[in-house]
Amino acid sequence: MIQFIKITKSLKSEFPSPTQEDLDHDNICIICREEMTISNSCKLPCTHCFHRVCLRRWFKQKRKCPTCDLDLMDK
């Protein structure tokens, strides 16, 4: 539970918003399959982007990138 709290608090500070260039490349969140915007998404260290809300839900189950399985607890 502590790990979940830690990583969800870090969504805004450690995982920045994507650039428009990032979203021009791919602007669909693979978790919910909806379009992302700069204001409602974040970019993980592996460069994959997702909605912040979707990641919070995802992190309840796993602390890894939904796309490449990068372990985010080490970051």
The 10s digit of each residue's pLDDT in 56-72 is 899 888 889 999 999 98
What are the Cα distances from residue 63, in Å, to 31, 51, 54, 66? 14, 15, 13, 9
Phi, psi for residue 30 in degrees, rounded to 5: -75, -10
Mean pLDDT of 6-35: 85
Q: How far apart are CA 12 and CA 7, in angstroms?
A: 10
Share of the chain above pLDDT 70, in %: 80
Residues pairing with 57 in the sheet = none
Q: Domains plus CATH for the chain?
A: 2-74 (3.30.40.10)
The pTM of this model reads 0.80
pLDDT at 1: 54
